[in-house]
Chain A
Amino acid sequence: DIQLTQSPSSLSASVGDRVTITCRASQGIRNELGWYQHKPGKAPRRLIYGASSLQSGVPSRFSGSGSGTEFTLTISSLQPEDFATYYCLQHNSYPRTFGQGTKLEI
């Protein structure tokens, strides 16, 4: 199974900050990775697909990069609505696996 390791597990930040979350895969997964935002009681929302493509309707302050085993999600200027938990997900092979999540807090 492919393990995805996210760092950090939690992060305290302020409105306006630039934030970067890393996701490392235990083996190469090309660009077959997505990033998701999840708020309590809500449906998770895809932000990035194919490691670096922005989902339609998602603000341009979100960006993704990486290929192979190392990936990053960057939020260029945090907004109040961005405080949530973020997950990476690989769809290179079965079983599909998620990172453990990064909780972004004020």
Chain B
Amino acid sequence: DVQLVESGGGLIQRGGSLRLSCAASGITFSSYAMSWVRQAPGKGLEWVSLISGSGIGTYYADSVRGRFTISRDNSKNTLYLQMNGLSPEDTATYFCVFGFYFDFWGQGTQVTVSS
């Protein structure tokens, strides 16, 4: 069974940085693209970023480009999201998602940015 476990969320002040991690198991991790998707309180789902299986291809939403960096360590079956320059608008639950077609999702980790 596929398992995705996110970690690294928390309460951070405006302008601060956080790094989210997603540990994957039950899959051939390096063969698949991975994404981050977020949901702000009371809002819908918003795609944040995608990385190819090799890690060479990376794609970002305009709202985070230049502030967030997606990466992966295929030797550790782990996906990352480095978030810099955080603002209250980044407050959300962040989900790790397996597959180019968004096949399977983790439970999410909460990020709260205070002003």
Contact = CB atoms under 8 A, between A and B. Distances in A.
Interface of A: 34, 36, 38, 42-46, 49-50, 85, 87, 89, 91, 94-101
Contacts, number: 53
5 contacts: A43-B95, A44-B45, A89-B47, A91-B101, A95-B60
- Nearest 5 pairs of A and B residues by beta carbon: A96-B47, A43-B105, A101-B44, A98-B45, A44-B105
Interface of B: 35, 37, 44-47, 50, 59-62, 95, 100-108
A46 B102 CA distance: 8
Contact of A95 (B45, B62, B108): B62
Contact of A89 (B59, B61, B62, B102): B102
A98 B100 contact: no
Given A95-B61, A101-B44, A46 B50 contact: no
